[in-house]
């Protein structure tokens, strides 16, 4: 129905209630929804990610594997789009992020990129404010990265060595891996 003929007597749809910042399952489900937007390919995992203000629960940005041009990962897309929206380079995105930003990602962030792109772990670590303090202080993951492409991913270890807490949100492993590996040979 064209907008101009829409019955004016219907009330507008109210805004969605905010998500409680401690409702990690809801954020992980939303990240999984993002992963499903990624095109299935045999050479990539379909991953979804969100950056969230840890104090208010506001979703700052969303991303998924191959959302942007090139061989882009979900975390990379989140940060790149947020930087673009704030007219800064991705390297400066930390200057725009709230002090207590958290990242939700369906899969452990990569520590090695076969494409030569900067690994997502390094992108997360460099999100520092003008005061030099990290802006992403906590990363919630749904699953550890399978060893198919790069072997044993040391992403979690590197994040923790840099003072970033990594928390496994349980209960989504089967769904995440099903979505992540769509397009892979069985």
Establish whether 75 is a catalytic residue.
Answer: yes
Q: Nearest 5°: phi and psi at 166?
A: -120, 125
CATH 3.30.2030.30 for domain 27-181: no
CB atoms within 10 A of CB 150: 16
Least confident residue range of 3-12, 33-42, 61-70, 84-93: 3-12
Give the per-residue pLDDT at 184: 77
Alpha carbon distance 103, 54 (integer Å):
9
Query: What pLDDT, in 10s, does the model give residues 125-174?
Result: 999 999 999 999 999 999 987 665 555 668 889 999 999 999 999 999 99
Catalytic choice (67, 75, 108, 145): 75
Q: What is the mean pLDDT of the chain?
A: 87
Give the per-residue pLDDT at 42: 83
Q: Name the CA radius of gyration of the chain, rounded.
A: 17
Query: What pLDDT, in 10s, does the model give residues 21-60?
Result: 999 999 999 999 999 999 998 878 999 999 999 999 999 9
Q: Quick one: what percent of the chain has pLDDT higher than 90? A: 69
Residue boundaries of the structural domains of the chain: 27-181
Least confident residue range of 19-33, 64-78, 107-121, 158-172: 107-121
Binned at pLDDT 50, 70 and 90, residue 18 comes out as confident
Nearest to 124 by CA among 157, 162, 81: 162
Give the per-residue pLDDT at 155: 84
Mean pLDDT for 12-16 is 61
């Amino acid at each position: 129905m064209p907008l101009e003929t829409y019955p004016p007597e219907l009330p507008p749809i109210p805004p969605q209630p905010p998500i409680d910042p401690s409702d990690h399952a809801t954020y992980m489900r939303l990240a999984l929804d993002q992963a499903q937007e990624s095109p299935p390919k045999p050479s990539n995992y379909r991953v979804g990610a969100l950056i969230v203000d840890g104090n208010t629960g506001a979703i700052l940005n969303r991303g998924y594997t191959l959302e942007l041009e090139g061989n882009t990962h979900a975390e990379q897309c989140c940060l790149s789009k947020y930087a673009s929206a704030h007219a800064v380079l991705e390297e400066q995105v930390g200057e725009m992020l709230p002090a207590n930003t958290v990242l939700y990602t369906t899969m452990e962030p990569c520590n090695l990129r076969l494409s030569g792109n900067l690994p997502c772990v390094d992108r997360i670590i460099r999100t520092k404010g003008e005061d030099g303090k990290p802006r992403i202080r906590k990363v919630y993951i749904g699953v550890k990265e399978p060893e198919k492409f790069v072997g044993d991913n040391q992403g979690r270890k590197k994040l923790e060595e840099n003072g970033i807490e990594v928390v496994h949100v349980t209960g989504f492993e089967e769904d995440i891996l099903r979505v992540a590996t769509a397009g892979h040979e069985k």
